[in-house]
């Protein structure tokens, strides 16, 4: 094994790879085009950094719809519990929240990025910032070094590409790694936005932009009318459509069939079945029987949503509550249980949390992360064609593949 290892990209995967390789006595050089390490890490989980998910391995793999099986051996070597142990041992105590999501106790993503950087530096890895890489040098199918944009050349025995996908380009993920791998013969599976906000055909969303709905139900049907997702949680209206944790997860379920014409049904009262909700409406209507319909919904809906709800119901806002018929009330119940939105398209890839697609897993050895085409070339993190739902699963992939690549490079 050669012992000069170059790592391109100091994100979650690159930092883990750097620390691991250096801890095994390798001479590790990390090249990062930004002025600091872990830039994307700092903004994950709204700046709190959801590092992993505390669930069994089967559940972990079930939450990785994009080529999860490929990760079987790397997750067996370094899994979510190892990740938690790693951070505890490196001065970042963790806590588990709803949905088994694991966060640093401090709620600061900065602590996570710093711990990884400290670990790598303590093991002896050297960092070169403002150092964009131009190409990977090879001879007779083997890596020999790296050439930077400024034409400096570094001789190396192996290289780990950990440049991320195309999401959050302001953090430096602009597809450089894809280009370098392709120039060495690797296949790029078309990168698409995943975990991304959705634009809707309905314009009324603009009227309620900024409104967050908590504990609502969401059911998603793809363009062919198949039910592909159901969840209860939080979502947000924006000037273009919808976003928020539930919507981001839902977007992954319609990625493969295409976003356009998928249907979102929002259940505003998931805790009540139709009968119970009908009784509740009857009670409210009896209480407000002298009011107009538009003024009778304050206890059931957020204020900004009422005018929209009234319009969608087709009833006159001025209609006296005591004149609402049984059939009209039944229709209102159905509306509470299923406000419909039609998806126009996903937002652009630079607004996505994760990139689906990437370097084909068929060309990477799953137990070492080494390229099957070029000796001494390794991959880690989001640039590989693997992606997961929200909940700490994507960072789990980054840390696990980084650890594996660092162990073998």
Angle value at C-alpha 398, between 250 and 120, nearest 5 degrees? 150
CATH topology (fold) of 4-193+350-408: FAD/NAD(P)-binding domain (3.50.50)
Q: Are 207 and 307 in contact (CB under 8 A)?
A: yes
Angle value at C-alpha 379, between 128 and 63, nearest 5 degrees? 120
Q: Are 127 and 67 in contact (CB under 8 A)?
A: no
Does 1.10.8.50 match the CATH number of domain 197-346?
yes
Residues in contact with 36: Cβ distance below 8 Å, sequence separation at least 6, in sequence order: 129
Q: 291, exposed or middle or buried, with CB in 10 Å at 0-12, 13-18, 19+?
A: middle
The residue whose two tokens read 């990884």 is 116
Same fold, 4-193+350-408 and 197-346: no
Sheet holding 4-8: strands in order across? 126-128, 27-31, 4-8, 158-161, 377-379
Question: For 363-402, how does the pLDDT look when each residue is reduced to its tens digit (9 = 90+)?
Answer: 999 999 999 999 999 999 999 999 999 899 999 999 999 9
CA dihedral 113, 114, 118, 119 (to 10 degrees): -40
Strand partners, 131: none
**22 has pLDDT over 90:** yes
Question: CB 35: neighbour CB atoms within 10 A?
Answer: 8
Where do the structural domains in the chain lie, given as residue ranges? 4-193+350-408, 197-346
Question: CB 156: neighbour CB atoms within 10 A?
Answer: 23
Q: By 3-state DSSP, what share of the chain in percent is helix, strand and coil, each rounded to 5? A: 40, 25, 35
Distance CA 110, CA 34 (A): 16
Lowest-confidence range among 173-177, 239-243, 333-337, 379-383? 173-177
**46 has pLDDT over 70:** yes
pTM for the model stands at 0.90
Strand partners, 199: 241, 345
Question: For 225-239, how does the pLDDT look when each residue is reduced to its tens digit (9 = 90+)?
Answer: 999 999 999 999 999
Distance CA 198, CA 217 (A): 17
Residues in contact with 42: Cβ distance below 8 Å, sequence separation at least 6, in sequence order: 49, 109, 110, 113
């Amino acid at each position: 094994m050669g012992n000069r290892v170059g790592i391109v990209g100091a994100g979650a995967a690159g930092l883990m790879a750097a620390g691991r390789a250096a801890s095994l006595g390798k001479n590790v050089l990390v090249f990062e085009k930004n002025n600091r390490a872990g830039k994307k890490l700092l903004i994950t989980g709204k700046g709190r950094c959801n590092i992993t998910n505390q669930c069994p391995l089967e559940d972990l793999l079930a939450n990785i719809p994009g080529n999860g099986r490929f990760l079987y051996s790397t997750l067996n070597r370094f899994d979510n519990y190892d990740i938690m142990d790693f951070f505890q041992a490196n001065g970042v105590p963790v806590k588990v929240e709803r949905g088994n999501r694991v966060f640093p106790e401090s709620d600061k993503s900065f602590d996570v990025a710093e711990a990884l950087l400290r670990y790598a530096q303590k093991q002896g890895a050297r960092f070169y910032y403002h150092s964009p890489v131009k190409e990977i040098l090879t001879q007779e199918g083997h890596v020999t070094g790296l050439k930077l944009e400024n034409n400096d050349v570094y001789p190396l025995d192996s290289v780990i590409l950990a440049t991320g996908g195309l999401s959050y380009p302001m953090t430096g993920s602009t597809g450089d790694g894809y280009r370098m791998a392709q120039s060495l013969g690797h296949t790029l599976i078309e990168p698409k936005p995943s975990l991304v906000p959705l634009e809707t055909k309905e314009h009324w969303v603009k009227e309620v932009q900024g409104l967050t709905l908590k504990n609502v139900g969401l059911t998603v049907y793809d363009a062919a009318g198949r039910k592909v997702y159901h969840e209860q949680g939080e979502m947000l209206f924006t000037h273009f459509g919808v976003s928020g944790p539930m919507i981001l997860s839902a977007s992954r379920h319609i990625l493969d069939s295409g976003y356009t014409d998928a249907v979102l049904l929002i259940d505003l009262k998931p805790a009540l079945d139709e009968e119970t909700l009908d009784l509740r409406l009857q009670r409210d209507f009896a209480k407000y029987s002298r009011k107009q319909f538009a003024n009778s919904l304050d206890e059931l809906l957020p204020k900004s949503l009422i005018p929209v709800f009234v319009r969608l119901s087709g009833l006159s806002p001025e209609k006296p509550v005591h004149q609402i018929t049984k059939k009209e009330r039944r229709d209102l119940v159905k509306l509470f249980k299923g406000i419909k939105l039609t998806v126009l398209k996903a937002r652009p890839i630079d607004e996505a949390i994760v990139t689906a697609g990437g370097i084909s897993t068929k060309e990477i050895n799953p137990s070492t992360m080494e390229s099957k085409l070029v000796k001494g070339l390794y991959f880690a993190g989001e640039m590989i064609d693997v992606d997961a739902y929200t909940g700490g699963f994507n960072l789990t992939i980054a840390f696990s593949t980084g650890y594996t690549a660092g162990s073998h490079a």
